[in-house]
Structure 1
């Protein structure tokens, strides 16, 4: 059996790893989430559960001013470190704040849009939605998105069998979270993309998943993933093509009767 390199199996599920191995958020996805504003329209955006700023930077690249809020100082420290390498005109549009969805460190009616990327499942929804109500300006935009696996490829199905021994978890992207649905109508759009990576990068990505990193048999699971990746990678390039679909939801602002975020 092929074994993964020792340093990879020993990688911690830390903020730096998260920033290095997780897929980014394309600007067209974030533009849609924020309501597809005209290019000259610059919003005040809250990135809720921003992590290391993978989405924050994409929103700032669109010209928006973004406040990244996260409950992990380690994550925000990586975000700030990466931002030092950005053009000053872009980094100036990004600020950070330690906080949670249940206790947002923002003034009332202070943001034009809220985006929550791959993070809503970590919050207390009843409290979080009240805080979103408080900080979002009237007719502001709310958007949520998750990167999900496209399981049409055989090797992705085999990966799922390794990391989901009890079967696939409930699909959180079937519909907008119930507590948000009471705030107005949401529309959904799916954005397919392929994440190309080496076997070592796949192993790093798997190490960043809490449902893998926290398993008592973590090293064995990662060794099996390494074996799978080695057999599935292209003999020509050594790369794996990991198909994904970004499931995105945003408030539907097309009709007056259903478009208002109720306060």
Structure 2
């Protein structure tokens, strides 16, 4: 249990993985998502939690551009693997509105660990035009000037079978929308078979979570005249 209990907005909460994590730490969490289906899954998952944790979670249908919250009502905002879906110019205005002065904001994305040799080979298969821009290299420009940012990387790996890798690759739009997607999947299968451990049949897909934390400046962005 934290020494300070925060009122936290989980923006783009989805099925609530981050929501449950924050609530388990003792914070009160408002999960906001535009998908009622996603929030229904979150609510079902919450039923499996201890009552002391689930009682700290509430869900609201809404969007980053139109947050159904009162002004200055939250101490912290977290947006996990979701900021790239929002209209940033509108979303930051709403975040400014609901966040209390000197409140915190955290953003995080998962990205492949491209230092790994087989991940580099996978990227060569699925990214024929080269590596796309890495959104985790800097904070969104709309947030510039709103305080100081800390950035940390957290490595982790998914252990999966080759078939699970194929299922994952089949969900990537940049694979499914290619006219040669069958050939691409066949090449991924071949690569995965070579990378998998003979003893277990599993391969390790290394990732990095790039996390940013904004500590708000003392100047209130809602009343400040500084343009976006």
Q: TM-score, normalised by structure 1?
A: 0.77
Bigger mean CA offset, 225-234 vs 54-63: 225-234
Contact 2:102-2:215 within 8 A present in 1 as well: no
Could you tell me which residue of structure 2 aligns to residue 22 of structure 1?
A: none
- 1:87 maps to 50
Q: Which residue pairs with 2:64 in the alignment?
A: 101
Residue from 238, 242, 258 that aligns with 2:201:
238
Note if 1:262 corresponds to 2:221: yes
Q: How does 1:34-113 map to 2 (within 5 A)?
A: 39-113=2-76
Provide the rounded CA distance (Å) in 1 between the counterparts of 2:129 and 2:85. Answer: 21
Q: 1:230 to 1:177 in 2, by over 3 A?
A: same
Once residues 252 and 123 of structure 1 are traced to their aligned partners in structure 2, the CA distance between those partners, rounded to angstroms, is 21
Which of these two proteins has the greater Rg computed from alpha carbons?
2
Any idea what the Cα deviations from partners look like across 1:191-248, whole Å, max 9, x if unmatched? 1222222223323333443433444554443343233222211111221111111111
Corresponding position: 1:172 with 2:135: yes
Deviation at 1:144, TM superposition (A): 0.6
2:107 aligns to what?
144
For each residue in 1:45-98, what CA deviation from the matched residue of structure 2 results, as whole angstroms up to 9, or x when unmatched?
Answer: 111111111211111111111111111222222222222222222222222111
Structure 1: distance between partners of 2:220 and 2:206: 34
Q: Say if 1:62 and 1:166 are closer, same or farther in 2 by CA, change over 3 A.
A: same
| Residue number among 153, 169, 174 corresponding to 1:206 in the alignment | 169
Higher strand share: 2
| TM-superposed deviation, 1:121 | 0.9
| 1:185 counterpart SS class | strand
Shift of 1:162: 2.2
What is the deviation of 1:135? 0.7
* Greater relative contact order structure (CA < 8 Å, 6+ sep): 1
Q: Which residue of structure 2 aligns with residue 225 of structure 1?
A: 188
Partners in 1 of 2:22 and 2:158 — Cα distance?
Answer: 20
Describe the shift of the 1:78–1:111 C-alpha distance in structure 2 as closer, same or farther (beyond 3 A). same
**1:3-29 C-alpha deviation (Å, 9 max, x unpaired):** xxxxxxxxxxxxxxxxxxxxxxxxxxx
Taking the aligned partners of 1:203 and 1:98, their CA distance within structure 2 comes to 33
Please say if residues 140 and 261 of structure 1, whose CA atoms lie closer than 8 Å, have aligned partners that are also in contact. no
Taking structure 2 as the reference length, the TM-score comes to 0.88
Q: Spell out, residue by residue over 1:171-205, the C-alpha distance to the aligned partner (whole angstroms, 9 max, x if none).
A: 11111111101212212111122222222332333
Structure 2 unmatched runs, 5+: 223-228
Q: Is the 8 A contact 1:150 1:243 kept in 2?
A: yes
